[in-house]
Structure 1
Amino acid sequence: MLGIRVHKHEGEKVRRKLIELDVLDKNYKVKREGDFLIFPIKERVEGFEIVETEFEPIEKRPHSYREVVDVPDYLRSLLPSSFDIIGDIAVIELSEELMEYGKQIGEAILKVHKHIKAVFAKGSAVSGEFRIRQLIHLAGEKRTETLHRENGIKLKLDVAKVYFSPRLATERMRIFKKAKEGEIVFDMFAGVGPYSILLAKKVRLVFACDINPWAVKYLEENKRLNKTPNVIPILGDVRKVAGQIKADRVIMNLPKFAHEFLREAMLSVKSGGIIHYYGFSHEDDLFGKHEEKIKTVARELGKKVKFLERRKVRPYAPYQYNIAIDFRVF
């Protein structure tokens, strides 16, 4: 093969020039000989020392598990294009037809994503008071506890015992940017603390409530891990807590049932305070029914609301969206 031989001190400058000329052969590794480098090239280039030598090919890693997984061709179109990564655990949703090949799919994910150590399939929908789902082990380590990192914080959790979605990291940062120093925040459905721990880095105090004892156990641990003593974990039904707290900002991250807790949220926010409400909606009416419910509850309590922002957070089913509505209460 053809190569260009240069002194190592000239290496970076020559590399950039070869890329600019589109003659650098990126299928092979650069060779080192003492103080010299030899770049693999596709064709001769004037003005350089050309040598003939052998180069070691670069092993191309697949970008997706779908490139290496062993399933029948007629099922390939059913392979999910994405899955959740929580710490070093992958959780994937498989159709009934693909479950027979779950082990192969899990092993393919492990092969392509070296940082993933365990793969599980969703065995049921999120359900019950604790918002958890059954998980089916596919490949890798048989453990469900992990350490997840996002937005500069660490979150220890058990994916089989608590609800957690890594897909809301951007939304959590949006709220963090809106929060102000000195505020008191009430996180009504806190889970292991992805909102609470992050906000505690900025605000004065965060009351973090959850009914799941496992979630509060991990919330306590995450409070220590992230050195956020201004997080106050509360284990219990938020209905019994509401009204005892007066917050500048209330977070209602329970999209399926948040509308049932609007009274509690409005009783817990200061006059002029902000509520971040989440819900599920069909694309034909993203915000209307939720806003009507918010206005109805406000009237019943003798309060007024001002809508500040409406947004689609993410799709969660065909034609269905997880939506957010920010509103101020007076």
Structure 2
Amino acid sequence: MRVRRVEKRHLAAAVGEEWVDPDRRPYVDGETAYVPVREGFFCDAEIPERRPYRGRPFQMVGDTAILHGERPTAEEVAAIVAWRRPACVLHLRTIDGVRRIPEAEVLYGEAHPVRHRENGLTYHLNPVEVMYAAGNLEERAHMGRIVRPGERVADMFAGIGYFTLPMAAAGARVHATEINPVSFGYLQENIRANRLSERVEAVCGDCRRHLTGVYERIVMGHFDAPSFLPDALSHAVPGTVIHLHAVGDATAAIWEALEATDYSATVDTRKVKKYGPHIWHVVHDVELL
């Protein structure tokens, strides 16, 4: 493969150059990036073509590789290190409780705070301290697409800003609550890093105690969300849209909560990702009538 050597710190600027081959990925080794060159342009080196990675699936959050499911073997970890050269490899066993604290094992390198870029936004976090569901990428982008500028939104389980940031970046006024003080610290940092302080009011504590007034949209991005639905409904009006996340079908719980109010609703269900055998992480979009 024909390449040009570029300092790693200049890689982001280089990839937009005319000579870059957009169909091939740069290769980074230490502080040097080897950027593929299109035919007809100068190159200063040739390196062997990299064979496609066929090993254990993993997700990159910043410079950290994260694996789920069964504990990976030493050979699987070595393959990931050789292929992607992460600074750290983590095995994420589970996410615990309302505060969504990861139970993770470091398999390579050292756990550390990372800077993760996604859909034009910056997320700061330490993957052993707080949850980051890389598989929810499209759902986060979706929320940024559907909000309207100036819309008042409640993000009841804001975490580090998974949905708060894309919605605020799209022009919504977001009231973000998070009960985990560590996640809340990263939420504040991420609001500042993305220059969204004027559009986000962030509060640390139980969302049920901090909701105020009424909202045009309410995001309930936690699998315990069905039990919080009566609290959300008390801050809604006809036309409010509630995005309720659940493991499996929670429509029965939604209709039960609605029966205690004067609302009717339309309920649409979207699949986000597979959660387990025959089990899906879904979002119920509930529009109150």
Q: TM-score range by the shorter chain?
A: 0.7 to 0.9
Residues in 2 aligned to 1:132 and 1:165: alpha-carbon distance in whole angstroms: 12
Residues in 1 aligned to 2:69 and 2:135: alpha-carbon distance in whole angstroms: 18
Residues in 2 aligned to 1:171 and 1:129: alpha-carbon distance in whole angstroms: 21
Residues in 2 aligned to 1:92 and 1:204: alpha-carbon distance in whole angstroms: 34
Preserved contact between residue 96 and residue 103 of structure 2 (Cα < 8 Å): no
Residue of structure 1 in register with 2:253 after alignment: 293
Residue of structure 2 in register with 1:93 after alignment: 68
**1:54-113 superposed Cα distances (whole Å, 9 cap, x missing partner):** xx98513232263xxxxxxxxxxxxx3x112111111113535x4xx33x4333212111
2:217 pairs with one of 245, 249, 265: 249
Residue 320 of structure 1 deviates from its aligned partner by: 0.6
1:263 pairs with one of 230, 254, 270: 230
Preserved contact between residue 210 and residue 234 of structure 1 (Cα < 8 Å): yes
Instruction: Supply the AA of the counterpart residue of 2:271.
Output: K
Preserved contact between residue 65 and residue 112 of structure 1 (Cα < 8 Å): no
Residue of structure 2 in register with 1:20 after alignment: none
RMSD: 2.4
Instruction: Supply the AA of the counterpart residue of 2:255.
Output: K
Unaligned runs of 5+ in 2: 1-35
1:117 pairs with one of 80, 83, 87: 87
Cα distance change on mapping 1:204 and 1:137 into 2, 3 Å: closer
**Residues 169-178 or 191-200, more deviating:** 169-178
**1:178-234 superposed Cα distances (whole Å, 9 cap, x missing partner):** 111120110010100021011111234101111000111011100110000111111
Residue of structure 1 in register with 2:106 after alignment: 137
Cα distance change on mapping 1:299 and 1:220 into 2, 3 Å: same
How many residues get paired?
A: 249
Residue of structure 1 in register with 2:59 after alignment: 84
Residues in 2 aligned to 1:129 and 1:94: alpha-carbon distance in whole angstroms: 21
Instruction: Supply the AA of the counterpart residue of 1:119.
Output: V
Instruction: Supply the AA of the counterpart residue of 1:279.
Output: A
TM-score norm. by structure 1 comes to 0.70
% identical equivalent positions: 26
Residue of structure 2 in register with 1:318 after alignment: 277
Q: How does 1:1-330 map to 2 (within 5 A)?
A: 58-64=47-53, 66=55, 80=56, 82-93=57-68, 95=70, 98=72, 101-102=73-74, 104-114=75-85, 116-122=86-92, 124-140=93-109, 142-229=110-197, 230-242=199-211, 244-255=212-223, 257-281=224-248, 287=249, 290-307=250-267, 309-330=268-289
Cα distance change on mapping 1:301 and 1:63 into 2, 3 Å: same
TM-score norm. by structure 2 comes to 0.79
Preserved contact between residue 119 and residue 139 of structure 1 (Cα < 8 Å): yes
Provide runs of 4+ in structure 1 moved above 3 Å.
Answer: none
Name the one with the larger helix percent: 1
Residue 143 of structure 1 deviates from its aligned partner by: 2.2
Preserved contact between residue 218 and residue 232 of structure 2 (Cα < 8 Å): yes
Cα distance change on mapping 1:60 and 1:199 into 2, 3 Å: same
SS in 2 for 1:182: coil
Instruction: Supply the AA of the counterpart residue of 2:90.
Output: F
Cα distance change on mapping 1:177 and 1:138 into 2, 3 Å: same
Q: Which has the larger radius of gyration?
A: 1
Residues in 1 aligned to 2:280 and 2:144: alpha-carbon distance in whole angstroms: 22
Preserved contact between residue 278 and residue 324 of structure 1 (Cα < 8 Å): yes
Preserved contact between residue 87 and residue 148 of structure 1 (Cα < 8 Å): yes
